[in-house]
Amino acid sequence: MSSRFNVFNLLREGLRGQTGWQAQWREPELKASYDAVIIGGGGHGLATAYYLAKEHGMRNIAVIEKGWIGGGNSGRNTTIIRSNYLYDASAAIYNHALSLWTTLGRELNYNIMMSHRGVLNLAHDEGEARTLKRRVEANRLNGVDAEWLDAKQVKAFCPPMSIDEGARYPVIGATLQRTGGTNRHDAVVWGFARAASAMGVDIIQQCEVTGIKKKSGKIVGLHTTKGDINTPKIGSVAAGHTSVVANMVGLKLPIESHPLQALVSEPLKPLIPCVVMSNAVHVYVSQSDKGELVIGAGIDPYVSYTQRGSFDIIEHQMASLTELFPMFSRLRMMRQWGGIVDVSPDASPILSRTPIDGFYVNGGWGTGGWKATPASGHAFADLIAKDQPNEIARPFSLERFTTGNLVAEHGAAAVAH
What residues line the site for ligand PYC (CB under 6 A)?
78, 80, 82, 284, 296, 367-368, 414-415
| 221 binds ligand FAD, rule: CB under 6 A | no
Closer by beta carbon to ligand FAD, 76 or else 124:
76
397 binds, among ligand PYC, ligand FAD, none (CB under 5 to 8 A by kind): none
| 74 binds ligand FAD, rule: CB under 6 A | yes
| 238 binds ligand FAD, rule: CB under 6 A | yes
Q: Which amino acid is at 77?
A: N
In angstroms, give the least distance from the CB of 97 to ligand PYC: 12
- Contacts of ligand FAD in 117-176 (CB under 6 A): none
180 binds, among ligand FAD, ligand PYC, none (CB under 5 to 8 A by kind): none
In angstroms, give the least distance from the CB of 32 to ligand FAD: 18
Q: Which amino acid is at 263?
A: L
414 binds, among ligand FAD, ligand PYC, none (CB under 5 to 8 A by kind): ligand PYC
Closer by beta carbon to ligand FAD, 129 or else 139:
139
Closer by beta carbon to ligand FAD, 47 or else 123:
47
Closer by beta carbon to ligand PYC, 80 or else 193:
80
Q: Which of 41, 235, 358, 374 binds ligand FAD (CB under 6 A)?
A: 41
In angstroms, give the least distance from the CB of 272 to ligand PYC: 15
Q: Are strands 202-204 and 61-64 parallel, antiparallel or unpaired?
A: parallel
- Contacts of ligand FAD in 341-370 (CB under 6 A): 341, 365, 367-370
In angstroms, give the least distance from the CB of 35 to ligand PYC: 33
- Contacts of ligand FAD in 278-297 (CB under 6 A): 296
181 binds, among ligand PYC, ligand FAD, none (CB under 5 to 8 A by kind): none
Q: Which of 105, 235, 339, 389 binds ligand FAD (CB under 6 A)?
A: 339
In angstroms, give the least distance from the CB of 178 to ligand PYC: 15
Query: Residue 384 burial (CB < 10 Å; 0-12/13-18/19+)?
Result: buried
Residue 62 in contact with residue 45, Cβ under 8 Å?
no
Closer by beta carbon to ligand FAD, 138 or else 238:
238
| 241 binds ligand FAD, rule: CB under 6 A | yes
221 binds, among ligand PYC, ligand FAD, none (CB under 5 to 8 A by kind): none
How many residues are listed for the chain in this entry?
417
| 298 binds ligand FAD, rule: CB under 6 A | no
Residue numbers at the binding site for ligand FAD (CB under 6 A): 39-45, 64-67, 71-74, 76-80, 208-209, 237-241, 245, 260-262, 296, 339, 341, 365, 367-371
